[in-house]
A = this chain, B = another copy of it.
Amino acid sequence: MALYVHKYGGTSVGSTERIKHVAERVIKARQKGDDIVVVVSAMSGETNRLLALAHEVQERPNPREVDVLLSTGEQVTIALLAMALEAKGCPARSYTGAQVKIITDEAHTKARVERIDNEAIRADLAAGRVVIVAGFQGVTEAGDLTTLGRGGSDTTAVALAAALKADECLIFTDVDGVYTTDPRVEPRARRLERITFEEMLEMASLGSKVLQIRSVEFAGKYNVPLRVLSSFQEGEGTLITYEESEMEKAVISGIAFNRDEAKLTLEGVPDKPGIAHKILGPIAAANIEVDMIVQNVAGDATTDFTFTVHRNEFAKAMEILQKLCGELGAKAVTGDDKIVKVSVVGVGMRSHAGIASTMFETLAKEGINIRMISTSEIKISVVMDEKYLELAVRSLHEAFGLDKEPAA
């Protein structure tokens, strides 16, 4: 007998009809003789409806009270799902985050899970019940309600799976797995049967928004096998685990990309220690998140300092750099918000030389000019003009043979 944690997002529980459908799936899974714990989100639209009410009342609502308000969303879903299961003759019991208890720190609206008491859940499972837990929410040691931030239901599911030592944590979404790249850009994109936690982190942070990044980190840390699959159709989805010896040895697992980038350069900055901090300090102080950072030192004791930000923050970042230009004695500020980032990701890269050269060669053949390069152990990212995005993704997808099943 195995123990599985299922997680159904807001779209999967968006109506009472869909909640009944989830109940059927849970019952089917249980008929194999396994124990099931289900984590659910608020019905789609509910969190936004509640936030709109809050904003009608207070411009910047008190985060403690926002959490009291928002945590009602999942509480509605757990009760309805418990009813749906019982209506079909399946014993079930619901728990709020506070009831479990899922103890978090006190960072309201973005709390972190500290520990989980799972006594009540274990007793219910032993009594033959399906246990339903409200995602996205917890409670502080002092008894204040907290929420884990957007996408936090994934984190709840993984944290529960870790605490209960579940065999697998199944994340049901509106996609049927993790793909080699976005099928809307490359129709030959292929669903991956497996992917490693590290690759998934790189894919997620690079724009494949299947899973919340914190839940993947959490799953990796506690070695909880994660499976992403569709709540609307049958299928095995994609399993996210640690690299195993018998694992399929693809060099590259996927091509990720991000259309929302903009790039800024401070040219000809006198190259002194601490210059990076002098530039990025004011950017961080303005709450602008920086993605890639590249610095080239030229021969003449000055440097060009380039970084990328979200396109929405481009104007704000330009303004800050223009002020800094004079202060730091730099030559000029340039920027471009018509760029994209394309990355190849794969743990196989570690042991294979030549990935970078294959990548650059492929792009060169297509006449694509590379504007920035950044690398990590399992990823190579390049920045290019946005008009090249589709061409780059498709040619790289083919060059690395991603449309073909890898050899065992």
Greatest chain B CB density within 10 A among A20, A50, A69, A96 is at: A69
Find chain B residues with CB under 8 A from A223 CB: none
Find chain B residues with CB under 8 A from A83 CB: 54, 57-58, 61-62, 65
Query: Are B57 and A84 in contact, with the CB atoms below 8 A?
Result: yes
Q: Which residue of the partner chain B has the closest CB to A139?
A: B99
Checking B54, B57, B69, B99 against A75 with a beta-carbon cut-off of 8 angstroms, the contacting residue is: B69
Interface size on A, residues (CB 8 A): 38
Find chain B residues with CB under 8 A from A86 CB: 58, 62, 65
Find chain B residues with CB under 8 A from A65 CB: 79-80, 82-83, 86, 94
A58 to B93, CA, bound (A): 14
User: At the interface, yes or no: A76 with Cβ under 8 Å from chain B?
Assistant: yes
User: At the interface, yes or no: A370 with Cβ under 8 Å from chain B?
Assistant: no
Q: A17: shortest Cβ distance to chain B, in Å?
A: 8
User: At the interface, yes or no: A64 with Cβ under 8 Å from chain B?
Assistant: yes
Checking B56, B59, B66 against A16 with a beta-carbon cut-off of 8 angstroms, the contacting residue is: B56
User: At the interface, yes or no: A1 with Cβ under 8 Å from chain B?
Assistant: no
Find chain B residues with CB under 8 A from A20 CB: 57
Query: Are B87 and A57 in contact, with the CB atoms below 8 A?
Result: yes
Q: Which residue of the partner chain B has the closest CB to A49?
A: B76
Find chain B residues with CB under 8 A from A62 CB: 82-83, 86
Scan residues 62-107 of chain A and give those whose CB is less than 8 A from a CB of chain B.
Answer: 62, 64-66, 68-69, 71-72, 75-76, 78-80, 82-84, 86-87, 93-94, 96, 98-99
User: At the interface, yes or no: A353 with Cβ under 8 Å from chain B?
Assistant: no
Scan residues 174-223 of chain A and give those whose CB is less than 8 A from a CB of chain B.
Answer: none
Query: Are B53 and A16 in contact, with the CB atoms below 8 A?
Result: yes
Checking B53, B87, B99, B120 against A58 with a beta-carbon cut-off of 8 angstroms, the contacting residue is: B87
User: At the interface, yes or no: A143 with Cβ under 8 Å from chain B?
Assistant: yes
Q: A164: shortest Cβ distance to chain B, in Å?
A: 19
Checking B59, B66, B72 against A87 with a beta-carbon cut-off of 8 angstroms, the contacting residue is: B59
Q: A62-B82, A72-B72 are in contact. List 5 more A-B contacts (CB 8 A).
A: A19-B57, A58-B87, A64-B93, A96-B145, A98-B98
- Name the 8 nearest CB pairs between A and B, nearest first: A69-B79, A72-B72, A58-B83, A16-B56, A68-B79, A58-B87, A65-B79, A65-B82
